[in-house]
Amino acid sequence: MKGIVFTEFLEMVEQKFGYKMVDDLLISSELPSKGVYTAVGTYSHKEMFSLVTQLSERSGIDASLLLDTFGSHIFEHFTSRYNHFFSSCTSAFEFLSSIEEHIHVEVQKLYPDAELPEFIISRPGDDVLSMIYKSERKLSFLALGLIKSTLAYYGETAEITMKDLSGDGHTVEFILTKV
Ligand code: HEM
């Protein structure tokens, strides 16, 4: 997992919980990197699980909600750093449909060792978008936060349902229905 994900995560922790929490997490989580992350470096995604688990235990907030919130936080970074992806789309459905075949493809070119999820996209109806998320890293709640932020960014509203198709978080279907 790229260092930028860790630096953004720790920035969110500092903003929402204060610097002491960052310090406590770095001391108590199992981190082969010792918590020293550079934006372009690559670290085991297990370090992210360790940090999220520790933050959940210390804050009493579910790990799923923490990941959802982190999705909104890192979305802000994406909108400023990668604005061209957003400006080339005119709607949330168009943008979300382009992640698999365009955005993450470009991300992989920039960072060949990035570990990205797979999305299978379909449009069961004009107002409905289905996104099947697949990843060994089981970060569907991070995807949820990113999807909600995308809708808000384009000023749209949709109901989102999430169905765990594999039962272990590896394959999760999001169905977005415009309201
Ligand atoms: C301009 C927009 C976006 C950019 C630049 C971007 C880029 C990235 C980058 C750099 C990573 C980290 C890869 C690694 O650490 O190895 C990542 C991971 C991820 N991205 Fe995107 N992304 C974008 C939009 C989205 C959106 C809208 C979603 C949700 C629908 C999404 C879902 C994910 C998820 C869930 C991961 C975590 C890895 C995993 O689950 O396997 N991304 N993305």
The CA angle 111-135-110, to the nearest 5 degrees, is 10
How many domains is the chain built from? 2
In a domain, 154, yes or no: yes
Residues 108 and 34 in one domain: no
CA of 54 to the centre of ligand 1 (A): 22
Range of the domain at 100: 90-178
What is the model's pLDDT at position 40?
A: 83
Residues 119 and 172 in one domain: yes
Residues 30 and 95 in one domain: no
Span 45-65, pLDDT tens digits:
999 999 999 999 999 999 999
Q: Considering Cα of 58, then 59, then 60, then 65, what sign does the dihedral take? A: negative
For residue 121, the cross-strand partners are: 131
Residue in this structure with the two tokens 């765990």, named with its chain if needed: 164
Average pLDDT over residues 34-47: 93
Residues 43 and 103 in one domain: no
Give the HSE-up count for residue 136: Cα atoms under 13 Å, Cβ half-sphere. 6
Span 86-128, pLDDT tens digits:
999 999 999 999 999 999 999 999 999 999 999 999 999 999 9
In a domain, 85, yes or no: no
CATH code for position 171: 3.90.1520.10
- Is residue 148 very low, low, confident or very high in pLDDT (cuts 50, 70, 90)? very high
In a domain, 39, yes or no: yes
In a domain, 170, yes or no: yes
Average pLDDT over residues 64-70: 98
CA of 179 to the centre of ligand 1 (A): 26
Residues 42 and 99 in one domain: no
Nearest-atom index, ligand 1, CA of 150 = 27
Pocket test for ligand 1, best of 2, 83, 99, 105 (most atoms within 8 A of CB): 99
Pocket test for ligand 1, best of 78, 150, 171 (most atoms within 8 A of CB): 78
